[in-house]
Structure 1
Protein backbone atom coordinates (compact mmCIF):
# COMPACT_ATOMS: atom_id res chain seq x y z
CA UNK A 1 0.00 0.00 0.00
CA UNK A 2 1.10 3.58 -0.63
CA UNK A 3 2.31 5.98 2.05
CA UNK A 4 -0.79 8.11 1.43
CA UNK A 5 -3.04 5.14 2.16
CA UNK A 6 -1.18 4.32 5.39
CA UNK A 7 -1.33 7.95 6.52
CA UNK A 8 -5.06 8.06 5.78
CA UNK A 9 -5.56 4.89 7.83
CA UNK A 10 -3.58 6.36 10.73
CA UNK A 11 -5.69 9.52 10.82
CA UNK A 12 -8.90 7.48 10.70
CA UNK A 13 -7.77 5.25 13.56
CA UNK A 14 -6.70 8.22 15.71
CA UNK A 15 -10.20 9.63 15.23
CA UNK A 16 -11.58 6.21 16.19
CA UNK A 17 -9.69 6.32 19.50
CA UNK A 18 -11.11 9.77 20.28
CA UNK A 19 -14.65 8.62 19.50
CA UNK A 20 -14.05 5.48 21.58
CA UNK A 21 -12.93 7.62 24.51
CA UNK A 22 -16.14 9.65 24.30
CA UNK A 23 -18.04 6.36 24.00
CA UNK A 24 -17.05 5.44 27.57
CA UNK A 25 -18.63 8.70 28.78
CA UNK A 26 -21.79 8.25 26.70
CA UNK A 27 -22.24 4.67 27.89
CA UNK A 28 -21.66 5.41 31.57
CA UNK A 29 -24.30 8.14 31.44
CA UNK A 30 -26.78 5.87 29.63
CA UNK A 31 -26.31 3.09 32.19
CA UNK A 32 -27.74 5.41 34.85
CA UNK A 33 -31.19 4.59 33.45
CA UNK A 34 -30.81 1.35 31.49
CA UNK A 35 -29.88 -2.27 32.39
CA UNK A 36 -26.38 -3.03 30.99
CA UNK A 37 -27.15 -5.95 28.66
CA UNK A 38 -30.36 -4.33 27.41
CA UNK A 39 -28.51 -1.08 26.75
CA UNK A 40 -25.75 -2.77 24.76
CA UNK A 41 -28.17 -5.04 22.87
CA UNK A 42 -30.42 -2.22 21.66
CA UNK A 43 -27.38 -0.01 21.01
CA UNK A 44 -25.78 -2.61 18.73
CA UNK A 45 -28.99 -3.67 17.00
CA UNK A 46 -29.96 -0.09 16.17
CA UNK A 47 -26.42 0.73 15.05
CA UNK A 48 -26.27 -2.38 12.86
CA UNK A 49 -29.67 -1.56 11.33
CA UNK A 50 -28.55 1.99 10.54
CA UNK A 51 -25.51 0.63 8.70
CA UNK A 52 -27.69 -1.92 6.90
CA UNK A 53 -29.90 0.85 5.55
CA UNK A 54 -26.93 3.07 4.67
CA UNK A 55 -25.06 0.34 2.80
CA UNK A 56 -27.88 -1.92 1.62
CA UNK A 57 -26.54 -1.98 -1.96
CA UNK A 58 -23.44 -3.81 -0.73
CA UNK A 59 -25.42 -6.71 0.72
CA UNK A 60 -26.11 -8.44 -2.59
CA UNK A 61 -24.21 -11.52 -3.77
CA UNK A 62 -22.90 -12.41 -0.32
CA UNK A 63 -21.26 -15.80 0.18
CA UNK A 64 -22.30 -17.82 3.21
CA UNK A 65 -18.66 -18.56 4.03
CA UNK A 66 -17.90 -14.85 4.38
CA UNK A 67 -21.15 -14.14 6.26
CA UNK A 68 -20.40 -17.00 8.64
CA UNK A 69 -16.99 -15.52 9.37
CA UNK A 70 -18.54 -12.13 10.09
CA UNK A 71 -21.04 -13.75 12.45
CA UNK A 72 -18.20 -15.43 14.34
CA UNK A 73 -16.45 -12.06 14.67
CA UNK A 74 -19.70 -10.58 15.94
CA UNK A 75 -20.09 -13.34 18.51
CA UNK A 76 -16.71 -12.59 20.03
CA UNK A 77 -17.54 -8.88 19.95
CA UNK A 78 -20.71 -9.68 21.91
CA UNK A 79 -18.72 -11.74 24.40
CA UNK A 80 -16.19 -8.94 24.86
CA UNK A 81 -18.92 -6.34 25.25
CA UNK A 82 -20.73 -8.47 27.82
CA UNK A 83 -17.84 -8.27 30.25
CA UNK A 84 -16.97 -4.71 29.24
CA UNK A 85 -20.41 -3.35 30.09
CA UNK A 86 -20.45 -5.27 33.38
CA UNK A 87 -17.16 -3.62 34.29
CA UNK A 88 -18.43 -0.24 33.17
CA UNK A 89 -21.67 -0.61 35.15
CA UNK A 90 -20.01 -1.77 38.37
CA UNK A 91 -16.64 -0.01 38.19
CA UNK A 92 -15.73 3.19 39.97
CA UNK A 93 -13.05 4.45 37.54
CA UNK A 94 -13.43 4.68 33.77
CA UNK A 95 -9.75 5.53 33.33
CA UNK A 96 -8.56 2.41 35.15
CA UNK A 97 -11.04 0.25 33.26
CA UNK A 98 -9.90 1.68 29.95
CA UNK A 99 -6.25 0.85 30.60
CA UNK A 100 -7.09 -2.71 31.68
CA UNK A 101 -9.23 -3.22 28.58
CA UNK A 102 -6.37 -1.89 26.47
CA UNK A 103 -4.30 -4.92 27.47
CA UNK A 104 -6.07 -6.57 24.56
CA UNK A 105 -3.68 -4.65 22.29
CA UNK A 106 -0.73 -6.47 23.84
CA UNK A 107 -2.51 -9.79 23.54
CA UNK A 108 -3.28 -9.37 19.83
CA UNK A 109 0.05 -10.84 18.58
CA UNK A 110 -0.11 -13.65 21.16
CA UNK A 111 -3.52 -14.75 19.90
CA UNK A 112 -2.23 -14.36 16.35
CA UNK A 113 0.63 -16.75 17.20
CA UNK A 114 -1.47 -19.55 18.68
CA UNK A 115 -4.54 -19.28 16.44
CA UNK A 116 -3.23 -18.11 13.07
CA UNK A 117 0.40 -19.24 13.28
CA UNK A 118 1.90 -15.74 13.13
CA UNK A 119 5.20 -15.12 14.88
CA UNK A 120 4.92 -12.34 17.48
CA UNK A 121 7.80 -9.86 17.74
CA UNK A 122 10.35 -10.47 20.48
CA UNK A 123 9.32 -7.19 22.08
CA UNK A 124 6.04 -8.76 23.20
CA UNK A 125 7.90 -10.93 25.74
CA UNK A 126 9.45 -7.79 27.27
CA UNK A 127 6.07 -6.04 27.30
CA UNK A 128 4.16 -8.79 29.10
CA UNK A 129 5.91 -8.59 32.51
CA UNK A 130 5.62 -4.78 32.45
CA UNK A 131 1.91 -5.13 31.72
CA UNK A 132 1.46 -7.68 34.53
CA UNK A 133 3.08 -5.34 37.07
CA UNK A 134 0.92 -2.47 35.82
CA UNK A 135 -2.20 -4.62 36.10
CA UNK A 136 -1.26 -5.55 39.66
CA UNK A 137 -0.93 -1.87 40.56
CA UNK A 138 -4.42 -1.21 39.23
CA UNK A 139 -6.00 -4.31 40.73
CA UNK A 140 -4.62 -3.85 44.23
CA UNK A 141 -5.76 -0.23 44.19
CA UNK A 142 -3.30 0.64 46.94
CA UNK A 143 -4.85 -2.00 49.19
CA UNK A 144 -5.12 -5.77 49.41
CA UNK A 145 -8.41 -5.73 47.53
CA UNK A 146 -9.80 -5.17 44.08
CA UNK A 147 -13.09 -4.56 42.34
CA UNK A 148 -14.74 -7.37 40.40
CA UNK A 149 -15.19 -4.80 37.66
CA UNK A 150 -11.44 -5.01 37.02
CA UNK A 151 -11.77 -8.75 36.40
CA UNK A 152 -14.58 -8.12 33.93
CA UNK A 153 -12.46 -5.55 32.09
CA UNK A 154 -9.57 -8.04 31.87
CA UNK A 155 -11.81 -10.79 30.46
CA UNK A 156 -13.11 -8.33 27.90
CA UNK A 157 -9.50 -7.58 26.92
CA UNK A 158 -8.96 -11.27 26.16
CA UNK A 159 -12.06 -11.40 23.98
CA UNK A 160 -11.19 -8.13 22.23
CA UNK A 161 -7.73 -9.49 21.32
CA UNK A 162 -9.30 -12.47 19.60
CA UNK A 163 -11.96 -10.36 17.90
CA UNK A 164 -9.33 -7.83 16.72
CA UNK A 165 -7.35 -10.55 14.93
CA UNK A 166 -10.39 -12.07 13.28
CA UNK A 167 -11.74 -8.66 12.24
CA UNK A 168 -8.47 -7.73 10.54
CA UNK A 169 -8.59 -10.88 8.45
CA UNK A 170 -12.27 -10.56 7.56
CA UNK A 171 -12.05 -6.85 6.63
CA UNK A 172 -10.37 -7.70 3.33
CA UNK A 173 -13.16 -10.08 2.22
CA UNK A 174 -16.35 -8.12 2.90
CA UNK A 175 -17.33 -4.52 2.30
CA UNK A 176 -16.90 -2.39 5.39
CA UNK A 177 -20.66 -1.71 5.67
CA UNK A 178 -21.49 -5.41 5.44
CA UNK A 179 -18.88 -6.61 7.90
CA UNK A 180 -19.64 -3.90 10.46
CA UNK A 181 -23.42 -4.34 10.24
CA UNK A 182 -23.24 -8.13 10.57
CA UNK A 183 -20.89 -8.11 13.54
CA UNK A 184 -22.90 -5.43 15.34
CA UNK A 185 -26.15 -7.27 14.67
CA UNK A 186 -24.72 -10.56 15.89
CA UNK A 187 -23.34 -8.97 19.04
CA UNK A 188 -26.70 -7.27 19.61
CA UNK A 189 -28.65 -10.52 19.36
CA UNK A 190 -26.19 -12.23 21.73
CA UNK A 191 -26.61 -9.46 24.31
CA UNK A 192 -30.39 -9.33 23.83
CA UNK A 193 -30.66 -13.02 24.74
CA UNK A 194 -28.60 -12.38 27.88
CA UNK A 195 -30.84 -9.46 28.76
CA UNK A 196 -34.03 -11.49 28.30
CA UNK A 197 -32.65 -14.17 30.60
CA UNK A 198 -31.23 -11.98 33.36
CA UNK A 199 -32.71 -8.45 33.37
CA UNK A 200 -35.93 -6.53 33.91
CA UNK A 201 -36.52 -3.89 31.26
CA UNK A 202 -37.55 -0.34 32.25
CA UNK A 203 -41.09 0.88 31.52
CA UNK A 204 -39.99 4.49 30.96
CA UNK A 205 -36.70 6.01 29.79
CA UNK A 206 -35.95 9.66 30.57
CA UNK A 207 -35.02 12.07 27.76
CA UNK A 208 -31.43 12.61 29.02
CA UNK A 209 -30.82 8.86 29.14
CA UNK A 210 -32.34 8.52 25.67
CA UNK A 211 -29.98 11.21 24.43
CA UNK A 212 -26.94 9.43 25.83
CA UNK A 213 -28.22 6.18 24.34
CA UNK A 214 -28.48 7.77 20.88
CA UNK A 215 -24.98 9.26 21.21
CA UNK A 216 -23.64 5.83 22.17
CA UNK A 217 -25.49 4.18 19.30
CA UNK A 218 -24.94 6.55 16.40
CA UNK A 219 -21.57 8.09 17.28
CA UNK A 220 -19.72 5.63 19.52
CA UNK A 221 -21.00 2.50 17.75
CA UNK A 222 -22.15 3.02 14.15
CA UNK A 223 -19.61 5.71 13.26
CA UNK A 224 -16.81 4.34 15.45
CA UNK A 225 -16.91 0.72 14.24
CA UNK A 226 -17.48 1.75 10.63
CA UNK A 227 -14.36 3.92 10.73
CA UNK A 228 -12.39 1.30 12.66
CA UNK A 229 -13.25 -1.48 10.23
CA UNK A 230 -12.38 0.75 7.28
CA UNK A 231 -9.14 1.92 8.89
CA UNK A 232 -8.06 -1.62 9.69
CA UNK A 233 -8.71 -2.66 6.10
CA UNK A 234 -6.05 -0.13 4.99
CA UNK A 235 -3.27 -1.11 7.38
CA UNK A 236 -1.90 -4.29 9.04
CA UNK A 237 -3.40 -5.39 12.36
CA UNK A 238 -0.12 -4.77 14.20
CA UNK A 239 0.09 -1.20 12.86
CA UNK A 240 -3.51 -0.49 13.77
CA UNK A 241 -2.91 -1.87 17.25
CA UNK A 242 -0.20 0.75 17.88
CA UNK A 243 -2.62 3.61 17.23
CA UNK A 244 -5.41 2.01 19.27
CA UNK A 245 -3.16 2.48 22.31
CA UNK A 246 -4.49 6.02 22.50
CA UNK A 247 -8.03 5.01 23.52
CA UNK A 248 -7.37 4.60 27.28
CA UNK A 249 -5.48 7.89 27.35
CA UNK A 250 -8.43 9.78 25.87
CA UNK A 251 -10.84 7.92 28.15
CA UNK A 252 -8.90 8.79 31.30
CA UNK A 253 -8.66 12.46 30.26
CA UNK A 254 -12.36 12.69 29.38
CA UNK A 255 -13.34 10.97 32.66
CA UNK A 256 -11.25 13.46 34.64
CA UNK A 257 -12.97 16.37 32.91
CA UNK A 258 -16.53 15.01 32.84
CA UNK A 259 -16.79 13.00 36.08
CA UNK A 260 -13.96 14.60 38.05
CA UNK A 261 -12.29 11.20 38.45
CA UNK A 262 -9.01 11.00 40.33
CA UNK A 263 -6.53 8.17 40.61
CA UNK A 264 -4.30 7.06 43.46
CA UNK A 265 -0.57 7.31 42.83
CA UNK A 266 -0.27 3.54 42.49
CA UNK A 267 -3.09 3.55 39.92
CA UNK A 268 -1.35 6.24 37.89
CA UNK A 269 1.84 4.13 38.01
CA UNK A 270 -0.18 1.13 36.83
CA UNK A 271 -1.64 3.09 33.91
CA UNK A 272 1.81 4.34 32.91
CA UNK A 273 3.22 0.80 33.06
CA UNK A 274 0.43 -0.61 30.92
CA UNK A 275 0.81 2.20 28.39
CA UNK A 276 4.58 1.58 28.36
CA UNK A 277 3.94 -2.13 27.82
CA UNK A 278 1.71 -1.35 24.85
CA UNK A 279 4.47 0.77 23.32
CA UNK A 280 7.13 -1.87 24.02
CA UNK A 281 5.00 -4.57 22.41
CA UNK A 282 4.93 -2.52 19.20
CA UNK A 283 8.50 -1.24 19.40
CA UNK A 284 9.41 -2.45 15.91
CA UNK A 285 6.59 -0.48 14.33
CA UNK A 286 7.24 2.59 16.48
CA UNK A 287 10.95 2.58 15.63
CA UNK A 288 10.09 2.29 11.93
CA UNK A 289 7.93 5.39 12.16
CA UNK A 290 10.75 7.52 13.58
CA UNK A 291 13.61 6.01 11.55
CA UNK A 292 14.39 7.94 8.35
CA UNK A 293 14.29 5.94 5.12
Structure 2
Protein backbone atom coordinates (compact mmCIF):
# COMPACT_ATOMS: atom_id res chain seq x y z
CA UNK A 1 0.00 0.00 0.00
CA UNK A 2 2.82 2.41 0.83
CA UNK A 3 4.46 1.76 -2.53
CA UNK A 4 1.17 2.22 -4.37
CA UNK A 5 0.54 5.52 -2.60
CA UNK A 6 4.02 6.73 -3.56
CA UNK A 7 3.32 5.84 -7.20
CA UNK A 8 -0.04 7.63 -7.02
CA UNK A 9 1.72 10.75 -5.72
CA UNK A 10 4.24 10.51 -8.57
CA UNK A 11 1.40 10.21 -11.10
CA UNK A 12 -0.29 13.27 -9.60
CA UNK A 13 2.93 15.28 -9.78
CA UNK A 14 3.56 14.30 -13.41
CA UNK A 15 -0.03 15.08 -14.36
CA UNK A 16 0.15 18.55 -12.84
CA UNK A 17 3.51 18.93 -14.55
CA UNK A 18 1.63 19.53 -17.82
CA UNK A 19 0.02 22.56 -16.19
CA UNK A 20 3.44 23.86 -15.11
CA UNK A 21 4.78 23.36 -18.62
CA UNK A 22 1.92 25.41 -20.08
CA UNK A 23 2.38 28.19 -17.51
CA UNK A 24 6.13 28.25 -18.04
CA UNK A 25 5.68 29.18 -21.67
CA UNK A 26 3.94 32.39 -20.64
CA UNK A 27 7.50 33.63 -20.06
CA UNK A 28 9.90 31.25 -21.82
CA UNK A 29 9.90 29.69 -25.27
CA UNK A 30 9.66 25.87 -25.49
CA UNK A 31 13.31 24.89 -25.90
CA UNK A 32 14.57 27.38 -23.32
CA UNK A 33 12.03 26.07 -20.82
CA UNK A 34 13.05 22.47 -21.50
CA UNK A 35 16.73 23.33 -21.24
CA UNK A 36 16.34 24.85 -17.80
CA UNK A 37 13.91 22.31 -16.40
CA UNK A 38 16.00 19.29 -17.38
CA UNK A 39 19.24 20.81 -16.13
CA UNK A 40 17.50 21.72 -12.87
CA UNK A 41 16.10 18.20 -12.77
CA UNK A 42 19.57 16.71 -13.19
CA UNK A 43 20.87 18.83 -10.30
CA UNK A 44 17.92 17.80 -8.13
CA UNK A 45 18.97 14.15 -8.44
CA UNK A 46 22.46 14.82 -7.07
CA UNK A 47 21.44 14.39 -3.38
CA UNK A 48 19.86 11.01 -4.21
CA UNK A 49 22.97 9.95 -6.14
CA UNK A 50 25.17 11.02 -3.22
CA UNK A 51 23.00 8.94 -0.86
CA UNK A 52 23.16 5.93 -3.20
CA UNK A 53 26.94 6.25 -3.37
CA UNK A 54 27.30 6.64 0.39
CA UNK A 55 25.18 3.55 1.06
CA UNK A 56 27.00 1.53 -1.59
CA UNK A 57 23.95 1.08 -3.81
CA UNK A 58 25.64 2.22 -7.00
CA UNK A 59 28.00 -0.75 -7.11
CA UNK A 60 30.66 -1.11 -9.77
CA UNK A 61 29.96 0.30 -13.21
CA UNK A 62 31.81 1.22 -16.40
CA UNK A 63 31.92 5.01 -16.76
CA UNK A 64 32.49 4.77 -20.50
CA UNK A 65 29.47 2.47 -20.87
CA UNK A 66 27.42 4.92 -18.80
CA UNK A 67 28.33 7.79 -21.12
CA UNK A 68 27.53 5.81 -24.27
CA UNK A 69 24.19 4.82 -22.74
CA UNK A 70 23.26 8.35 -21.69
CA UNK A 71 23.89 9.87 -25.13
CA UNK A 72 21.25 7.91 -27.12
CA UNK A 73 18.76 7.84 -24.24
CA UNK A 74 19.15 11.58 -23.71
CA UNK A 75 18.81 12.24 -27.44
CA UNK A 76 15.52 10.29 -27.63
CA UNK A 77 14.32 12.10 -24.50
CA UNK A 78 15.18 15.42 -26.17
CA UNK A 79 13.01 14.62 -29.21
CA UNK A 80 10.11 13.39 -27.08
CA UNK A 81 10.24 16.35 -24.67
CA UNK A 82 10.59 18.85 -27.54
CA UNK A 83 7.52 17.50 -29.34
CA UNK A 84 5.57 17.59 -26.10
CA UNK A 85 6.60 21.11 -25.14
CA UNK A 86 6.07 22.62 -28.59
CA UNK A 87 2.77 20.75 -28.89
CA UNK A 88 1.55 22.40 -25.70
CA UNK A 89 1.55 25.69 -27.58
CA UNK A 90 -1.33 24.39 -29.69
CA UNK A 91 -3.30 22.04 -27.46
CA UNK A 92 -4.57 21.77 -23.90
CA UNK A 93 -2.84 20.18 -20.92
CA UNK A 94 -5.65 17.62 -20.79
CA UNK A 95 -5.19 16.57 -24.42
CA UNK A 96 -1.41 16.48 -24.01
CA UNK A 97 -1.68 14.31 -20.93
CA UNK A 98 -4.01 11.74 -22.45
CA UNK A 99 -2.25 11.52 -25.82
CA UNK A 100 1.18 11.27 -24.22
CA UNK A 101 -0.20 8.47 -22.05
CA UNK A 102 -0.60 6.35 -25.18
CA UNK A 103 3.06 5.41 -24.78
CA UNK A 104 1.85 2.71 -22.37
CA UNK A 105 0.04 1.03 -25.26
CA UNK A 106 2.80 1.76 -27.79
CA UNK A 107 5.64 0.26 -25.71
CA UNK A 108 4.55 -3.38 -26.13
CA UNK A 109 3.58 -2.73 -29.76
CA UNK A 110 7.02 -1.31 -30.59
CA UNK A 111 8.49 -4.14 -28.56
CA UNK A 112 7.38 -6.49 -31.33
CA UNK A 113 10.16 -5.02 -33.48
CA UNK A 114 12.63 -6.18 -30.82
CA UNK A 115 11.16 -9.66 -30.63
CA UNK A 116 9.14 -9.06 -27.46
CA UNK A 117 5.92 -10.99 -26.94
CA UNK A 118 2.64 -9.06 -26.84
CA UNK A 119 -0.58 -10.28 -25.21
CA UNK A 120 -4.11 -10.02 -26.56
CA UNK A 121 -4.99 -7.37 -23.97
CA UNK A 122 -2.43 -5.01 -25.57
CA UNK A 123 -4.25 -5.12 -28.90
CA UNK A 124 -7.63 -4.70 -27.20
CA UNK A 125 -6.30 -1.71 -25.27
CA UNK A 126 -4.82 -0.23 -28.46
CA UNK A 127 -8.15 -0.43 -30.31
CA UNK A 128 -10.04 1.20 -27.42
CA UNK A 129 -7.39 3.91 -26.97
CA UNK A 130 -7.30 4.72 -30.70
CA UNK A 131 -11.08 5.07 -30.67
CA UNK A 132 -10.76 7.56 -27.83
CA UNK A 133 -7.96 9.40 -29.60
CA UNK A 134 -10.20 9.83 -32.65
CA UNK A 135 -12.98 11.38 -30.55
CA UNK A 136 -10.53 13.61 -28.70
CA UNK A 137 -8.40 14.88 -31.57
CA UNK A 138 -10.15 14.44 -34.92
CA UNK A 139 -12.67 17.16 -35.77
CA UNK A 140 -15.93 16.81 -37.67
CA UNK A 141 -14.16 17.72 -40.93
CA UNK A 142 -11.48 15.05 -40.26
CA UNK A 143 -8.78 17.58 -39.37
CA UNK A 144 -6.30 17.01 -36.56
CA UNK A 145 -5.09 19.76 -34.25
CA UNK A 146 -1.35 20.43 -34.76
CA UNK A 147 -0.70 20.22 -31.04
CA UNK A 148 -2.43 16.84 -30.76
CA UNK A 149 -0.48 15.54 -33.76
CA UNK A 150 2.82 16.59 -32.16
CA UNK A 151 1.79 14.91 -28.90
CA UNK A 152 0.97 11.70 -30.79
CA UNK A 153 4.35 11.66 -32.53
CA UNK A 154 5.89 12.45 -29.16
CA UNK A 155 4.14 9.43 -27.62
CA UNK A 156 6.02 7.23 -30.10
CA UNK A 157 9.30 8.69 -28.87
CA UNK A 158 8.25 8.36 -25.20
CA UNK A 159 7.64 4.67 -25.93
CA UNK A 160 11.03 4.39 -27.65
CA UNK A 161 12.58 6.17 -24.67
CA UNK A 162 11.19 3.58 -22.25
CA UNK A 163 12.49 0.75 -24.41
CA UNK A 164 15.93 2.42 -24.47
CA UNK A 165 15.91 2.74 -20.69
CA UNK A 166 14.83 -0.90 -20.33
CA UNK A 167 17.82 -1.88 -22.48
CA UNK A 168 20.49 0.25 -20.83
CA UNK A 169 19.48 -0.01 -17.16
CA UNK A 170 20.58 -3.64 -17.29
CA UNK A 171 24.12 -2.40 -17.92
CA UNK A 172 24.48 0.79 -15.84
CA UNK A 173 22.98 2.17 -12.59
CA UNK A 174 19.48 3.59 -13.39
CA UNK A 175 19.85 6.67 -11.19
CA UNK A 176 23.09 7.72 -12.91
CA UNK A 177 21.58 7.07 -16.33
CA UNK A 178 18.57 9.20 -15.38
CA UNK A 179 20.73 12.11 -14.27
CA UNK A 180 22.99 12.04 -17.32
CA UNK A 181 20.10 11.71 -19.77
CA UNK A 182 18.63 14.88 -18.27
CA UNK A 183 21.98 16.62 -18.79
CA UNK A 184 22.13 15.49 -22.44
CA UNK A 185 18.54 16.58 -23.03
CA UNK A 186 19.12 19.90 -21.29
CA UNK A 187 22.28 20.64 -23.31
CA UNK A 188 20.63 19.75 -26.64
CA UNK A 189 17.66 21.96 -25.73
CA UNK A 190 20.08 24.76 -24.83
CA UNK A 191 21.75 24.56 -28.25
CA UNK A 192 18.40 24.82 -30.04
CA UNK A 193 17.15 27.57 -27.71
CA UNK A 194 20.25 29.70 -28.30
CA UNK A 195 19.97 29.09 -32.06
CA UNK A 196 16.31 29.88 -32.76
CA UNK A 197 14.94 31.52 -29.59
CA UNK A 198 15.77 34.63 -27.58
CA UNK A 199 16.01 33.48 -23.94
CA UNK A 200 17.01 35.88 -21.19
CA UNK A 201 17.68 35.80 -17.47
CA UNK A 202 14.63 38.01 -16.88
CA UNK A 203 12.39 35.47 -18.64
CA UNK A 204 13.84 32.63 -16.58
CA UNK A 205 13.27 34.54 -13.33
CA UNK A 206 9.68 35.29 -14.35
CA UNK A 207 9.09 31.56 -14.90
CA UNK A 208 10.77 30.44 -11.68
CA UNK A 209 7.67 28.77 -10.22
CA UNK A 210 6.85 26.51 -13.22
CA UNK A 211 10.57 25.79 -13.61
CA UNK A 212 10.92 24.84 -9.95
CA UNK A 213 7.92 22.51 -10.14
CA UNK A 214 8.92 20.99 -13.49
CA UNK A 215 12.57 20.58 -12.55
CA UNK A 216 12.69 19.75 -8.85
CA UNK A 217 9.23 18.29 -8.18
CA UNK A 218 8.38 16.57 -11.50
CA UNK A 219 11.88 15.29 -12.16
CA UNK A 220 13.68 15.04 -8.83
CA UNK A 221 10.94 14.16 -6.34
CA UNK A 222 8.62 12.17 -8.63
CA UNK A 223 11.48 10.16 -10.09
CA UNK A 224 12.75 9.36 -6.58
CA UNK A 225 9.27 8.22 -5.56
CA UNK A 226 9.07 5.98 -8.61
CA UNK A 227 12.50 4.42 -8.01
CA UNK A 228 11.77 3.73 -4.35
CA UNK A 229 8.22 2.50 -4.92
CA UNK A 230 8.86 0.17 -7.84
CA UNK A 231 11.13 -1.93 -5.66
CA UNK A 232 8.05 -3.08 -3.76
CA UNK A 233 5.14 -2.58 -6.19
CA UNK A 234 3.90 -5.15 -8.71
CA UNK A 235 4.95 -4.01 -12.24
CA UNK A 236 1.39 -4.27 -13.60
CA UNK A 237 -0.02 -2.35 -10.64
CA UNK A 238 2.69 0.31 -11.04
CA UNK A 239 1.87 0.79 -14.72
CA UNK A 240 -1.85 1.14 -14.00
CA UNK A 241 -1.33 3.64 -11.19
CA UNK A 242 1.12 5.71 -13.23
CA UNK A 243 -1.40 5.85 -16.10
CA UNK A 244 -3.54 8.02 -13.81
CA UNK A 245 -1.08 10.79 -14.69
CA UNK A 246 -3.42 11.52 -17.61
CA UNK A 247 -6.38 12.04 -15.28
CA UNK A 248 -4.42 14.46 -13.09
CA UNK A 249 -3.37 16.37 -16.21
CA UNK A 250 -7.02 16.81 -17.19
CA UNK A 251 -8.06 17.84 -13.66
CA UNK A 252 -5.19 20.32 -13.44
CA UNK A 253 -6.02 21.78 -16.84
CA UNK A 254 -9.65 22.35 -15.89
CA UNK A 255 -9.06 23.68 -12.37
CA UNK A 256 -5.84 25.66 -12.83
CA UNK A 257 -5.89 26.72 -16.48
CA UNK A 258 -9.62 27.10 -17.01
CA UNK A 259 -9.65 24.55 -19.84
CA UNK A 260 -12.98 23.10 -20.92
CA UNK A 261 -13.76 19.54 -21.95
CA UNK A 262 -16.90 18.99 -24.00
CA UNK A 263 -18.91 15.78 -24.02
CA UNK A 264 -17.02 14.36 -27.01
CA UNK A 265 -13.65 15.15 -25.41
CA UNK A 266 -14.67 13.58 -22.08
CA UNK A 267 -15.79 10.41 -23.89
CA UNK A 268 -12.55 10.34 -25.86
CA UNK A 269 -10.44 10.78 -22.72
CA UNK A 270 -12.44 8.06 -20.94
CA UNK A 271 -11.90 5.59 -23.79
CA UNK A 272 -8.19 6.41 -23.92
CA UNK A 273 -7.83 5.82 -20.18
CA UNK A 274 -9.81 2.58 -20.48
CA UNK A 275 -7.55 1.48 -23.33
CA UNK A 276 -4.42 2.22 -21.30
CA UNK A 277 -5.76 0.24 -18.36
CA UNK A 278 -6.90 -2.64 -20.58
CA UNK A 279 -3.43 -2.88 -22.11
CA UNK A 280 -1.95 -3.43 -18.64
CA UNK A 281 -4.55 -5.79 -17.17
CA UNK A 282 -4.11 -9.46 -18.20
CA UNK A 283 -7.25 -10.93 -19.72
CA UNK A 284 -7.30 -13.99 -17.49
CA UNK A 285 -10.81 -14.86 -18.63
CA UNK A 286 -9.43 -15.58 -22.12
CA UNK A 287 -7.43 -18.42 -20.61
CA UNK A 288 -10.39 -19.94 -18.78
CA UNK A 289 -11.84 -22.22 -21.40
CA UNK A 290 -14.74 -23.20 -19.16
CA UNK A 291 -16.15 -19.72 -19.54
CA UNK A 292 -16.71 -20.40 -23.23
CA UNK A 293 -18.51 -23.74 -22.86
TM over 0.5: yes
Paired residue for 2:291?
none
Paired residue for 2:240?
242
* 2:12 aligned with 1:14: no
Displacement of 1:186 = 1.5
Paired residue for 2:194?
196
- Contact between 1:141 and 1:267, CA under 8 Å: does it hold in 2? no
Matches within 5 A, 1:18-97: 18-52=12-46, 54-56=48-50, 58=53, 62-63=61-62, 64-91=64-91, 93-97=92-96
CA offsets 1:64-109 (integer angstroms, 9 cap, x no match): 2244223322221111101000111232x21112111111111111
CA offsets 1:163-203 (integer angstroms, 9 cap, x no match): 12232344454444312211211111221222222212135
Aligned pair in 2 of structure 1 residues 286, 25: CA closer, same or farther (>3 Å)?
Answer: farther
Distance 2:163 2:231 in 1: 12
Aligned pair in 2 of structure 1 residues 203, 52: CA closer, same or farther (>3 Å)?
Answer: closer
Paired residue for 2:153?
155
Aligned pair in 2 of structure 1 residues 252, 90: CA closer, same or farther (>3 Å)?
Answer: same
Paired residue for 1:133?
131
Displacement of 1:129 = 1.9
CA offsets 1:232-285 (integer angstroms, 9 cap, x no match): 565676553322210010111111111221112111111111111112212218
Displacement of 1:31 = 1.0
Paired residue for 2:264?
266
Q: Secondary structure at the match of 2:144?
A: coil
**Structure 2 gaps, min length 5:** 286-293
- Contact between 2:18 and 2:96, CA under 8 Å: does it hold in 1? no
Aligned pair in 2 of structure 1 residues 68, 201: CA closer, same or farther (>3 Å)?
Answer: same
Distance 2:79 2:231 in 1: 23
- Contact between 1:52 and 1:178, CA under 8 Å: does it hold in 2? no
Tell which deviates more after alignment, 99-108 or 129-138. Answer: 129-138
Paired residue for 1:291?
none
Aligned pair in 2 of structure 1 residues 98, 141: CA closer, same or farther (>3 Å)?
Answer: farther
Q: Please give the root-mean-square deviation of Cα atoms over the aligned residues, in Å.
A: 2.5
- Contact between 1:171 and 1:229, CA under 8 Å: does it hold in 2? no
| TM norm structure 1 | 0.85
Aligned pair in 2 of structure 1 residues 165, 13: CA closer, same or farther (>3 Å)?
Answer: farther
